[in-house]
């Protein structure tokens, strides 16, 4: 994938960011069959870089996936991480906070799930729910959620300073494609478990979520943790795009196998 596609997805000018400038059906001129082959190539590279990251055991990578329902967060995780060593990848899906989570500050459960040295962490939803659904549904007043942009930037800055590379992707699905996917879920008994009646209520709040996403992306696209707006109307574009964004981040990290223990030099196994 040409690097200019990644540059087009990256929000490097947050002040002038507008979600409507990003086409959910964008294909970057790719074709479906070639994209499937390209994804396999990317995964070979990801596998090698993951091995190095684990062997180096110093730094970590955190992939944050945010999206509306049916944009394909689960499918993205399955498509990119199947085939990688599961010992080095930790996926966390954040649901409505319950029990202890609900009585702590909103970053508590998130911090606990951050990847350790040598690990890749994947967040399926994240602390961004606390400025998105919480704002749109009025679970907290403006005076509370508004301050969270600053907390989040400072929290992510700390993670970055301490050795975690943060990659943030918003999977951008259109309203029409979400309708098709909801209908598929309703009609297919193997998919209907994914559908909640509340999904339709959230769909009615589409414009409010649009504003909330736009503000969140604008307020929290930083040089150390920029957002990427990934076109998500075509699964194959979405998967290849996220895989490439991740690969670029890992290449930049350039993790190295540690040198061998000097005491084993010239050792021969009899």
Strand pairing partners for 66? 170
125 binds ligand AMP (CB under 6 A): yes
Please work out the total of residues on this chain that contact Mg ion, with binding judged by CB under 5 A.
1
Q: What is the CA radius of gyration of the chain?
A: 20
Q: Is 134 in the site for ligand AMP (CB under 6 A)?
A: yes
Q: Of these partners, ligand AMP, Mg ion, none, which one is at the site of residue 91 (CB under 5 to 8 Å by kind)?
A: none
Q: How far is the CB of 191 from ligand AMP (least distance, A)?
A: 13
Q: Closest distance between ligand AMP and the C-beta of residue 76, in Å?
A: 13
How many CB atoms are located within 10 Å of the residue 130 CB?
23
**Rounded CA gap, 180 and 224, in Å?**
36
Q: Least Å distance between CB 95 and ligand AMP? A: 4
Please answer whether residues 201 and 190 qualify as being in contact, where contact means their C-beta atoms are separated by less than 8 angstroms: no
Q: Which is nearer to Mg ion, 26 or 69 (CB)?
A: 69
Distance CA 84, CA 261 (A): 27
Judged by CB under 5 A, the stretch of 63-71, 117-125, 162-170, 173-181 that binds Mg ion is: 63-71
Q: How far is the CB of 251 from ligand AMP (least distance, A)?
A: 30
Of 48, 62, 81, 80, nearest to 254 by C-alpha is: 48
CA-CA distances (angstroms) from residue 96 to 38, 129, 134, 202?
A: 36, 9, 10, 14
Q: Which of 19, 91, 94, 214 binds ligand AMP (CB under 6 A)?
A: 94
Assign 206 to helix, strand or coil.
helix
- Binding range to Mg ion, per CB under 5 A, among 61-69, 103-111, 116-124, 158-166: 61-69
Sign of CA pseudo-dihedral 190, 196, 200, 205 = negative
Q: How far is the CB of 40 from ligand AMP (least distance, A)?
A: 28
69 binds Mg ion (CB under 5 A): yes
- Which one of 129, 170, 239, 240 is in contact with ligand AMP (CB under 6 A)? 129
Residue 30 or 213: which CB sits closer to ligand AMP?
A: 213
Binding partner selected for residue 95 from ligand AMP, Mg ion, none, CB under the kind-specific 5 to 8 Å limit? ligand AMP
Among 15, 18, 29, 96, binds ligand AMP (CB under 6 A): 96
Angle, alpha carbons 82-7-225 (nearest 5°): 70
Q: Which residue is nearest to ligand AMP (CB)?
A: 129
Task: Check residue 133 for interaction with ligand AMP (CB under 6 A).
Answer: yes
Structure tokens at 130: 């606390």
Q: Which does 109 bind (CB under 5 to 8 A by kind): Mg ion, ligand AMP, none?
A: none
227 closest CA partner among 64, 29, 85:
64
Q: Which two tokens stand for residue 85?
A: 């060593």
Can you state the percent helix, strand and coil of the chain, rounding each to 5? 55, 10, 35
* Chain residues in the site for ligand AMP (CB under 6 A): 94-97, 125, 129-130, 133-134
Q: Which residues bind Mg ion (CB under 5 A)?
A: 69
């Amino acid at each position: 994938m040409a690097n200019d596609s990644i540059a087009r997805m990256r929000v490097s000018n947050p002040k002038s960011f507008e979600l409507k400038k990003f086409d959910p059906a964008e294909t970057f001129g790719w074709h479906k069959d070639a994209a499937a082959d390209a994804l396999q190539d990317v995964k070979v590279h990801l596998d090698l870089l993951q091995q190095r990251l684990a062997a180096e055991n110093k730094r970590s990578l955190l992939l944050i996936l945010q999206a509306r329902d049916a944009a394909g967060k689960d499918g993205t995780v399955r498509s990119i991480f199947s085939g990688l060593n599961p010992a080095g990848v930790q996926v966390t899906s954040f649901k409505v906070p319950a029990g202890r989570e609900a009585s702590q500050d909103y970053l508590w459960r998130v911090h606990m799930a951050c990847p350790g040295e040598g690990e890749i962490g994947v967040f399926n939803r994240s602390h961004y729910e606390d400025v998105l659904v919480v704002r749109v549904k009025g679970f907290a007043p403006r005076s509370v959620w508004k301050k969270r942009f600053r907390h989040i930037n400072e929290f992510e800055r700390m993670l970055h300073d301490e050795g975690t590379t943060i990659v943030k992707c918003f999977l951008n699905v259109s309203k029409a494609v979400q309708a098709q996917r909801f209908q598929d879920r309703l009609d297919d008994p193997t998919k209907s478990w994914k559908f909640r009646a509340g999904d339709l209520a959230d769909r009615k709040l589409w414009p409010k979520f649009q504003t909330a996403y736009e503000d969140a992306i604008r307020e929290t696209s930083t040089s150390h943790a920029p957002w990427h707006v990934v076109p998500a109307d075509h699964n194959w574009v979405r998967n290849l795009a996220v895989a490439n964004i991740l690969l670029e981040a890992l290449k930049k990290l350039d993790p190295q196998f540690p040198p061998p223990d000097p005491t084993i030099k010239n050792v021969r196994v009899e």
